[in-house]
Structure 1
């Protein structure tokens, strides 16, 4: 069936391409259609033709050279250095014999691409190899290097995976698409372990697969993957909206238990997700609470991940097309738009989203080509969940820092490594650079440094203001001299015993990690301050401190020690990466087209119900608040 489809596509390609183009072969690689040719420069010079062809075939098209026209790697490297200006600062060149690509890593990749792609076309014309151009991060990233090594080392296996996937995606549908339904497997009327299961007559899709980091056992920590209709080996695709563990932390488990298909997400999500998953495994091992998967399953996930840019329409199953749109929550966070069947139904799953401009990111997208069902988060969906403006939040933070430093104390800010940490770094850098805060060291502990390195590798996903600073003004706030990476216990003790300072450390809810250790050292000194800037889940130490607990019992080496909390505890709303109540309601008002049905998820029971009833009363849109394990027919 697939071969017949491919033959028809080949005929169309041969009819449309110039007669002098020598096509060696055409094949599916995952969602992409790859054309191998002996004269790729002719095709690359006809970009409009390829775009029109892709539009008519409704496929993503990649052009690659046939092996017979590839230049020897040593000569190709010399030629690349002749073609690419030195200002691009190429740091590494490697070759992938399987895909016939040359991987060029550079500090300024735009100069390797050239204006309107002119330099990359020149590379293809001269050496045959198709250039894959990657950014060299200004802060070295161990995770990005590890992912790139894994993909290079397993190129042959990955191509085989993509071939098999291509055959599965591009087969004809067996049944009429006359229904679609969603099963809530996690993250409904609760925050944590987000997981939705989409079924159509032809496809099975998982949207997010997270863990509840504040869970106390398997029943409260992991999604309900034991529902009778779910089987990993019947799954067509997994879509991850963003990297936070409550949305991506359980994906390796799928590979441990038989899943062998793709994970779709943005490139930053893949990088950050890998970082957080590996750290999750490491912490669980150190705390002697092993997870039901290990590092090899994370590696398998990397090999199966297909990254997409915002706005890129992609076939992920015979009857489903996926498009990712900016969600404004963290770097690479996405709303998933699913086009089901031949236009029979369209749904958007928001994941976590922020409908407000932040220093770090642009606000969430509101316009979609078609939309019948909207599945949206409600973390701050209660009527009392109105956050102050970002400007007010910054002023409160600066005031707290100023007051604490004046009395000779230290400021501990427990943060999620991804998102809030980088937002705060941008804020602190500006206020210290402009003299509003006296210059003090800002210590970066835990995964924050590595997560920040990933941010520096993907500036195209940042807000317009930040991109302008980095690209046009030559100022990158993330690499400021005020930030100091903490390396090991000795440095931590020097910080505790040293002069006043600001400490950004994980974890954000004080559920473990280095922030908990800093808390133990600092909490009994009234000069110090603890500042919460993110969500504190029920059951976490952070939530207990917010409730006013002054005595905290913590286990240490088999014994329990009670810490007396004398430090100032401050919660500053407004830095959250989630939309508050007003923004959630405004989003529903602004989203276009107007959805026929809204399912509300990712919020405490009361907040979910309150938001859903308010949406119905205000906009007269049908709303539902499913419980975990409930199934809702959306078509």
Structure 2
């Protein structure tokens, strides 16, 4: 059956399901969605269950779009929206897209625009014909979010054409009678870095993650040149679990070499991905390294990105559905669950995950309708890889901060911009609010402020307590007055010169460069100051050397000179803030998984940890396990 025949058949089915007074002018695919065009959008709005019933019957994600001739004029529509929606919603802008019949409403409190069970949205549609789509006004100004939204609006016509092409490819008819599922390992097996897997059927080829090993020169990229991957133009889609560079660093490279398909991920992953990829190019240029792709390719990724919320079941191929679930690792991180064929096979990829409630996130999801195989990380899969409890870690950090500030010193925390920084920020904000530590400024230097602004744009991806605190109590810890952005060299120098007690969170997390080095140079010689590590320090990094006790550090100075900085400040390490599960949590994740998988594949850990975790799962739960090497192809069904 051709795609045109599929659409004609769907149109007939839709007409039989709808009341006779509702007419359909057209149906078409746009990405994974089936778009219904109608001259009676108000009648769809009258019956909130109509679209739900159609989606269930057709097993498609459905969007209703009004015919342009039934739309109210934008000026009139804005007046109506202002009358219907409470002024407390804080609407900041409206954007009318005639091509889609959508009005994008940007508001500080989207829930007030949506209304209970979408009632307010339906009322807006009944009054103006336009289909309202609500986005959050970032409470902290995010350059990344603003630029992405502007870019998508500027390129809406090209994007719509892309989505139509993608939609027709997804919903094409099956061409093969064969039924099999294979997994090819292209990176991150018995190693950490360059995560990349290929999931294949006779119909569909999906890449899961496409990362770079930022610390490895010789084996920095996935094996994208092997026959299973070529031609790259024939890959159907890329699915991203989360936006750390070892999972998304080389996605733009795919577009450089002919890939034209979609990238699926959550909205926060899209925003963080753009931020981190641009920073990756910037750092590579500063260090004189070869840049793997131009920034234009990052824009190409954005143009092709289709965002999915947790729990959305989405067709990504003629024989494959994808559902993303919370992974508890960083903002928007996902466990990617694939349903292959008509009940043929189910496989899930954890990506990096945390099976414990944290200050930011709920524990990773391990409850699925069906799953035969799970591919899981083993970063801390060794038998001795146990982390302190989160509460102990928080108490330890607060004690260090209290002692340092009472002695008139400064606390310097080198940290990663995404995830770890925000966890530490919440702990420090609470300590200041409750009077556990002095009310001092907490300076955010490097990408930390921008990454935090993206967190404030997507609070629905935070845990239940934080959401309640933000939505119902009007208290957002990220907006606390103690946090101060360091957005210039002059401001950084002023902090250093003032020498008033303060806390500084600065990148980079392993002290390989970045603004943290300026503070180290200034604070390092004085005993009253403290440097505290809250993240892993890899072998060979400056952070690791200081952790080992180095007291003199060579650093670059003006004019190409090298100067020696004495480290007399206190050095401390607080374990327990990791976004990865430790050994006990990894085992618990499988023990409590429902349904129990038939196969477990371990990856994203060194060889010893991958094999240790695999053998332990087998011994404990009698599940068939394997720690595959890179370049293996495994038949799953």
Q: TM-score range by the shorter chain?
A: over 0.9
**How far did 1:44 drift?**
2.3
**How far did 1:60 drift?**
0.2
Aligned to 2:535: 534
Aligned to 1:623: 625
Aligned with 2:515: secondary structure?
helix
Aligned with 1:205: secondary structure?
strand
- Is 1:285 aligned with 2:294? no
Aligned to 1:522: 523
Aligned to 1:434: 434
C-alpha distance in 2, partners of 1:607/1:221? Answer: 20
- 1:459-482 Cα distance to aligned partner (Å, 9 max, x none): 111111111111111111111110
Aligned with 1:394: secondary structure?
helix
**How far did 1:562 drift?**
4.5
Alignment check: 8 A CA contact 2:326 2:365 kept: yes
Aligned with 2:50: secondary structure?
helix
Aligned to 2:153: 152
Aligned to 2:413: 413
C-alpha distance in 2, partners of 1:192/1:119? Answer: 46
Aligned with 1:417: secondary structure?
coil
Aligned to 2:227: 228
- 1:500-527 Cα distance to aligned partner (Å, 9 max, x none): 2111111212222222333333333333
C-alpha distance in 1, partners of 2:482/2:255? Answer: 42
Aligned to 2:606: 604
Aligned with 2:298: secondary structure?
helix
Output the aligned Cα RMSD: 1.5
Aligned with 2:100: secondary structure?
coil
**How far did 1:288 drift?**
2.5
Alignment check: 8 A CA contact 1:375 1:599 kept: yes
Where in structure 2 are the equivalents of 1:460-471 lying within 5 Å? 460-471=460-471
C-alpha distance in 1, partners of 2:185/2:348? Answer: 15
Unaligned residue ranges in structure 1 (runs of 5+): none
Aligned to 1:250: 250
Aligned to 1:357: 357
Where in structure 2 are the equivalents of 1:175-186 lying within 5 Å? 175-186=176-187
> Cα 1:177–1:460, aligned 2, differ >3 Å: closer, same or farther?
farther
C-alpha distance in 2, partners of 1:601/1:108? Answer: 41
- 1:12-37 Cα distance to aligned partner (Å, 9 max, x none): 10000010102110100010001010
Where in structure 2 are the equivalents of 1:90-105 lying within 5 Å? 90-105=91-106
Aligned to 2:339: 339
C-alpha distance in 2, partners of 1:178/1:295? Answer: 40
Aligned to 2:458: 458
**How far did 1:406 drift?**
2.9
C-alpha distance in 1, partners of 2:441/2:138? Answer: 23
> Cα 1:179–1:521, aligned 2, differ >3 Å: closer, same or farther?
farther
Aligned with 2:303: secondary structure?
helix
TM-score (norm 1): 0.97
C-alpha distance in 1, partners of 2:344/2:45? Answer: 36
Alignment check: 8 A CA contact 2:68 2:99 kept: no
**How far did 1:337 drift?**
0.1
Where in structure 2 are the equivalents of 1:383-402 lying within 5 Å? 383-402=383-402
Q: How many residues end up aligned between the 2 structures?
A: 633
- 1:239-259 Cα distance to aligned partner (Å, 9 max, x none): 111111111121111112211
C-alpha distance in 1, partners of 2:149/2:342? Answer: 36
C-alpha distance in 1, partners of 2:30/2:306? Answer: 11
Alignment check: 8 A CA contact 1:214 1:511 kept: no
TM-score (norm 2): 0.97
Alignment check: 8 A CA contact 1:377 1:603 kept: yes
Aligned to 1:206: 207
> Which residue of the other structure, out of 589, 599, 604, is the alignment partner of 1:587?
589
Alignment check: 8 A CA contact 1:527 1:567 kept: yes
**How far did 1:598 drift?**
0.7
Aligned to 1:89: 90
